[in-house]
Amino acid sequence: MRLHGRAHKFGDDVNTDYIISGRHKFKTLDMKELARHVMEDLDPEFSSKVSKGDFIVAGKNFGCGSSREQAPLAIINADISAVLAKSFARIFYRNCINTGLPVLECDTDLIQAGDELEVDLAAGVIHNLTSGVDIPIKPLPPVMLKILSDGGLVEHFKKHGTFKFD
């Protein structure tokens, strides 16, 4: 599977309150509505800058803070195809796998804002088409690969009725 789009860069420790603020997320389960407010406290114009397939590219500890699953869902509904970061916070990382948002651990210093990227998930590599540099992606643990390949945890449960990793 290949993803293609431009990089939107953020710094370290982007927390889930920044991804989708509490003042919005308690109101509705309409993720399209929440998607309009993604990253609003860091960049009020963010959702209008995104073209379909673009990437959020960040530093370390992306997704720290609250366990809200509205964070990955709002990112997905904002038409972001994947999040690239040096590292991710644990609960957010699980939530992304469960909801089917690719989260890619890689050296994001090699990506500048606006760079055009092509992500080859199967090969585990990001081609930075702007700089010509190839960036390796840290492989996912097998359990998470299994859940992702089933299409997320909902599909995994529909298929197996419980956790099945063998």
Q: Which span sits near another protein by CB under 8 A: 49-57, 61-69, 103-111, 119-127?
A: 61-69
- Using CA atoms, how far apart are residues 81 and 103, in angstroms rounded to an integer? 9
Strand order in the sheet with 55-58: 103-105, 82-85, 55-58, 2-9, 116-120, 125-128, 133-136
Residue 20 Cβ vs another protein, minimum distance, rounded to whole Å: 10
Contacts of another protein in 131-160 (CB under 8 A): 141, 143, 152-154, 157-158
Which residue, 77, 70, 8, is CA-closest to 42? 8
Q: Which span sits near another protein by CB under 8 A: 60-68, 74-82, 101-109, 128-136?
A: 60-68
DSSP 88: B
Q: Does 32 bind another protein (CB under 8 A)?
A: no
Farthest-apart Cα atoms in the chain, separation: 46
Q: Does 23 bind another protein (CB under 8 A)?
A: yes
Pairing of strands 116-120, 2-9: antiparallel
Interaction site with another protein (CB under 8 A): 13, 15, 17-18, 21-23, 25-29, 40-42, 60-61, 64-70, 73, 87, 89-91, 94-95, 98-99, 141, 143, 152-154, 157-158, 161-163, 165
